């Protein structure tokens, strides 16, 4: 099972490299790699760096995900939710592939709507992560890691079931608002709330259990 996930990850990296190789002769030099909030490019890099940066980051990320199970201390192993853990890895890699494709497309075809293309993608990423958040078990690397969730497994599980709802709702609402409002701050605020509310929830729930003498 693990091999299949890492094989898909390797294929995603290879896809980014192949797409860069095909587009390379037609790319300007330098290529735009960063845009301001108005969708105007304000950062450039030599086109050869497209072979290095995103594929390199993806390879490093995949290596990190391979290493973390070995680094995990006892009773906090990521092996207790392997399929969810590796799903998160693939979703993260997929986001990098999308961003890489966005960069190539913008370099080849001119300015794009950065708000819709990037902010919308981030909103979708949060919703996809929320879809499995309730399956994430107590660990030091992934999830809503607060002093109260790390301290108590019951608080961890309750917080992540709650976070699954807030992440999905915030991600989908942010996606809709990205296209409906036409600005970055409203969808960003919704995403921030979806991420921070579970942090507060973990504190409140822990203190409730503490008053009852259950922790």
Q: For the purposes of burial, counting CB atoms within 10 Å of the CB of 29, is it exposed (0-12), middle (13-18) or buried (19 or more)?
A: exposed
Low-confidence ranges of the chain (pLDDT < 70): 1, 111-112, 114-115, 182
As a dihedral over the C-alpha atoms of residue 165, residue 170, residue 171, residue 174, rounded to 10 degrees, the angle is 160
Longest dimension (CA), the chain: 67
Tokens at residue 48, please? Answer: 């050869």
Of 101, 98, 92, the C-alpha closest to 20 is 101
- pLDDT at residue 111 in the model: 65
- Could you report the per-residue pLDDT of 155-212, keeping only the tens digit for each? 999 999 999 999 999 999 999 998 888 678 899 999 999 999 999 999 999 999 999 9
Per-residue tokens: 117: 């293309």
């Amino acid at each position: 099972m693990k091999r299949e996930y890492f094989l898909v990850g390797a294929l995603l990296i290879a896809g980014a490299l192949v797409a860069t190789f095909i587009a390379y002769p037609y790319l300007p030099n330098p290529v735009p790699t960063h845009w301001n909030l108005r969708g105007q490019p304000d950062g450039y890099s030599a086109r050869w760096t497209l072979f290095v940066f995103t594929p390199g980051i993806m390879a490093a990320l995949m290596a990190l995900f391979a290493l973390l199970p070995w680094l995990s201390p006892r009773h906090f192993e990521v092996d207790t939710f392997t399929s969810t853990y590796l799903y998160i890895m693939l979703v993260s890699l997929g986001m990098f592939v999308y961003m890489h494709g966005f960069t190539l497309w913008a370099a080849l075809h001119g300015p794009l709507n950065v708000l819709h293309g990037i902010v919308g993608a981030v909103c979708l990423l949060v919703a996809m992560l929320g879809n499995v958040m309730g399956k994430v078990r107590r660990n030091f690397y992934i999830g809503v890691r607060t002093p109260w969730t790390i301290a108590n497994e019951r608080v961890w599980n309750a917080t992540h079931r709650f976070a699954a709802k807030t992440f999905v709702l915030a991600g989908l609402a942010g996606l809709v608002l990205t296209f409906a409002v036409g600005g970055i701050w409203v969808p960003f605020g919704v995403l921030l709330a979806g991420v921070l509310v579970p942090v507060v929830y973990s504190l409140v729930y822990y203190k409730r259990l503490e008053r009852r003498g259950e922790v």
